[in-house]
A and B are shown apart, each in its own frame.
Chain A
Amino acid sequence: MGFFDNILLGFQVTLDPNNLFFCAIGVLVGTLVGVLPGIGPQGAMALLLPATFKATPTSSIIMLAGIYYGSQYGGSTTSILVNIPGEPTSLVTCFDGYQMARQGRAGPALGIAAWGSFIAGTLAVIELMCIANPLAKLALSFAPPEYFALICAGLILLTNLARGSTLKALIMVLVGLLIGNIGLDLITGLPRFTFGISELADGVGLIPILMGLFGITEVFENLEQNLDKREIYQTRIRNLWPSLKDWAEAKWAILRGSCIGLFLGIFPGGGPLLSSFVSYAVEKKVSRHPEKFGKGAIEGVAGPESANNSAAGATMVPLLSLGIPPNVSMAMLFSALIIHGIQPGPLLIKNNPDLFWGVIASMYLGNVFLLILNLPLIGIWVQVLKIPYRILFPLILLFCLIGTYAMNNSTFDLLMMILFGVLGYLIKKFGYESAPLILAVVLGPMLEQNLRQSLLLSRGSFLIFITRPISGVILGVAFLLLLTNIFTNVRKKYRQEYKELEE
């Protein structure tokens, strides 16, 4: 089938009323969780994953993808109106978005954020269409060493971009790999680390882990704070259509932001958060009036908002073409595919063209839905912002409990979810991040399988990972980045100590 036939197939799949309904629900829920601080897209995806069991795989993925990219749109609303990012990816939007709202320009700020997101989201879909298929074809020539190198690189890059200490992120990766080891051995079929608990024979379920680490942990963290004390900046939202002057100021920021997101989104660990920060830094650097940044510069809203949306779309490239999730949200989609009996990887496009092209076409429509949801219907989201957390958190907890229970009708899963909720709460208290742990749990079995197969192929020689050109280059780049990061951290630390000594 040719390129246009595939696109036609995609729209045929998406325009099916059932899929259209799931797409609309996905972007609606995405915007909702984006607007509401206290629950992120990962939490929402985990909560709604069990609700998709009765749906077709295509509908499920369309909905879950909608939640993901929809939340990037919604996150900007809280950043602009409340000065609290609905999502971490909208953090930088607070800097200038809230200032614009204080100057009575909430409308243009929301408008340019939505239009920027729309343009960037659409460009990301085009990138996905153009890159994923050739990349999948290339990946068909990959053997276990290349896959091992890719997964290793993904995990290393993720720790490189961790917000806190790289050492702690690496520890989280290793703990995740150990959790992924629980259950039946892939080759011998014998149980390991199950300690006689029959429920652990299939390993620790992904749903209890995800619900625990995202749903329960988020609730616990928020219960410790007083979230209901947030104040919404009281202003009339008008002029949602940015003026020609606004467009003139923001057009290049939107394009630059989109390109940054499209590029960084493909790499493991890259994604919306990093892209939005890089875009803000670039905008400030290239601006003729850098002093305006932080005081209501429209480029400071347009750039990062475009970047996080294009990156959200671009992160789907490695998942759909290589079967490797580059971040936690994609790990959710990965789990959803597995649950629905679809093996993510280079053969996905060939074996399930309806799913691949259907998801792509749904992203076009989803972006249009989101534009409607976030511009004419902005008033609804402002009202949603007023829902107190004391009403929200019992509902989030209940959805976590129901979702986990419904998976296997097992109270053991509920206990595992609570255990991981407590673990997530404690590791955050001790300054660790849960994202590397989750990704390692998901990728762990794949990593082990490819490592053992590679060693069998090479008759026990680790040189196979270096002598094969693709895996050698991938591993080399990843370790170089890791070393650079460690070196930068050490240098920063010594500089700080030297400065303190001087003072």
Chain B
Amino acid sequence: MKTYDQISSLFWLILSIFVCIESIRLGIGTLRHPDMGFMAFGVSVLLGILSLTLFLQAIFKKEEAKIEPFFSGKLWRRVFFVLIAILIYSNVMPVAGYLISTFLLMSFLFWIVKGQRWWGVLFLSFLTTLITYYVFSVWLKCQFPEGLFGL
């Protein structure tokens, strides 16, 4: 955790410096007439002080005997692939439409964790897409993009 604390505290410190500069640019005002950057300035100064404290604490902290790895095992790859999939989905849905993009996303998600036969994956994806479409689009009147194919 010692190294992690150093990394994270440095990140917060950089963020606080950035916000501090930006809030000065926006205008801090005076105590009598606080301007729009007033609160952000105060908060960023406090953040800077606390992140420095955390950094110093981490430097003087004794290293633990056992350091927990950032990514344990190989299962973190699933997280990465799922993240990529939902990012693609967010960008593709307006173009391909709700039904097609959701069916493809669900097929991928049901498939990525092993233990499912391909026909099971397709059936579950089809069912999920259809049910959510009827519940949200038809019943709750949410507007989903139809996409290029009108689906």
Contacts and interface: CB of A to CB of B under 8 A. Distances in A.
A455 B31 contact: yes
A227 B93 CA distance: 30
B31 A224 contact: no
A418 interface: yes
Given A224-B76, A390-B113, A398 B47 contact: no
A425 interface: yes
Interface string A222-257: 011110100000000000000000000000000000
Contacts of A393: 109, 113
A347 interface: no
Contacts of B91: 411
Given A170-B50, A178-B44, A401-B89, A190 B140 contact: no
Contact of A398 (B32, B78, B90, B128): B128
B1 interface: yes
Interface string B126-147: 0010001000100011111100
B79 A224 contact: yes
Contacts of B102: 398
B140 A171 contact: no
Interface string A177-196: 11001000101101011000
Contact of A452 (B1, B39, B73, B143): B39
A171 B13 CA distance: 10
Contacts of A411: 90-91, 93-94
Given A54-B140, A185-B36, A402-B136, A394 B128 contact: yes
Contacts of A53: 140
**Which one of A216, A226, A425, A448 has the greatest number of beta carbons of chain B within 10 Å?**
A448
B124 A391 contact: yes
A409 interface: yes
A162 interface: no
B37 interface: yes
B59 interface: no
B55 to A, nearest CB: 11
Which secondary structure characterizes the binding site on chain A? helix
B47 A178 contact: yes
Nearest to A225: B75
Interface in B11-50: 12, 15, 19, 22, 26, 30-40, 43-44, 46-47, 50
B49 to A, nearest CB: 10
Contact of B82 (A54, A397, A460): A397
B86 A401 contact: yes
Contacts of A353: none
Contacts of B90: 401, 411, 414-415, 418
A380 interface: no
Nearest to B19: A178
A456 interface: yes
Contacts of B40: 178, 181, 192-193
A467 to B, nearest CB: 16
Contacts of A167: 50, 53-54, 57
Which secondary structure characterizes the binding site on chain B? helix
A390 B136 contact: no
Nearest to B26: A192
Given A171-B54, A225-B75, A406 B34 contact: no
B79 A425 contact: yes
Contacts of B36: 185, 187-188, 190, 192
A219 interface: yes
A447 to B, nearest CB: 8
B82 A455 contact: no
A193 B39 contact: no
A455 B12 contact: no
A397 B86 contact: yes
A51 interface: yes
B56 to A, nearest CB: 11
A233 B75 CA distance: 27
Given A178-B44, A192-B40, A223-B78, A398 B73 contact: no
Interface in A388-410: 388-391, 393-395, 397-399, 401-402, 405-406, 409
A477 B47 CA distance: 23
Interface in B92-149: 93-94, 102, 105-106, 109-110, 113, 115-116, 124, 128, 132, 136, 140-145
A364 to B, nearest CB: 28
Contact of A418 (B44, B71, B83, B106): B83
A255 B145 CA distance: 54
Contacts of B43: 174, 177-178, 181
A168 interface: yes
A257 B140 CA distance: 41
**Across chains A and B, which 3 residue pairs bring their CB atoms closest together, nearest first?**
A460-B31, A394-B109, A460-B32
Given A220-B79, A224-B78, A418-B90, 18 more contacts: A51-B140, A54-B140, A167-B53, A171-B47, A171-B51, A174-B44, A178-B19, A178-B43, A185-B36, A188-B36, A190-B36, A223-B79, A393-B109, A398-B105, A398-B132, A406-B142, A455-B32, A460-B30
10 contacts: A167-B57, A170-B50, A220-B83, A223-B75, A223-B79, A391-B124, A394-B110, A415-B87, A431-B5, A460-B31
